[in-house]
Amino acid sequence: MATTYATGKRKTAIAKVWIKSGSGKISVNGVDLNTWLGGHEAIKLKVIQPLLVTKQENSIDIKATTLGGGYSAQAEALRHGISRALAAIDADFRALLKPVGLLTRDSRSVERKKYGRRKARRSPQFSKR
C-alpha cells in the first residue's frame, strides 16, 4: 500500500495525516502518541477509535502534524484525518466508519463576541440600584 494523505479539521485545529502499512506506530509532530498526549487516556482512545473500528491498530503506521487550537481539538482533528485516510484506502472501511460518525466534520465553532456583552451571550451583571 502506498502512502495516503488526508486532512482532518475541528474548531480551528488542523491535522495533516499520512498513513501507510506498517506495525502500528503513531507519530504526531515528531513524537509518539503517548508523549504527545501525556496522561490523557480518554483523548488517546478518541485518536485511535477509527483504527479500532476498522481493526487496523497493528497494521498501519501514522505520521501526522497538527496546528491550531488546543490539544483536545487537535486530537479530534487527528481522528477525523485518520478516518478520511482510511476511507480513501478502502470502500469497506468507509462503510464501517460512516455509521459511527467518524467521517463527519464537527462544524461547531466558537460563537463571536457581541457588542455590549461580556462574551457571546453573557450580559454584564445587573444592578437594580
Range of the domain at 68: 4-98
How many helices and strands (H and E) does the chain possess? Answer: 4, 5
Over the stretch 76-98, which tens digit does the pLDDT of each residue have?
999 999 999 999 998 999 999 99
* Number of domains present in the structure of the chain: 1
pLDDT 10s digits, 54-78 = 999 899 999 999 999 999 999 999 9
In a domain, 51, yes or no: yes
Query: Is the dihedral angle over the CA atoms 13, 72, 95, 21 positive or is it negative?
Result: positive
Whether 106 maps to a domain, the answer reads no
Q: Confirm whether 34 is domain-assigned.
A: yes
Q: pLDDT band at residue 2, thresholds of 50, 70 and 90?
A: confident
- By percentage, how much of the chain surpasses pLDDT 70? 100
Q: What is the pLDDT of residue 84?
A: 95
- Quote the CA–CA distance of 110 and 122 in Å, as a whole number: 14
Question: Is residue 58, in this structure, part of any structural domain at all?
Answer: yes
State phi, psi for 66 to the nearest 5 degrees. Answer: -125, 150
Q: Is residue 113 part of a domain?
A: no
Strand partners, 15: 8, 66
Residue 28 and residue 64 in contact, taking contact as beta carbons nearer than 8 Å? yes
Mean pLDDT of 34-63: 93
Task: Assess if residue 121 is contained within a domain.
Answer: no
Residue 110 lies in a domain: no
Domain containing residue 41: CATH number: 3.30.230.10
* pLDDT-derived band at 47, boundaries 50, 70, 90: very high
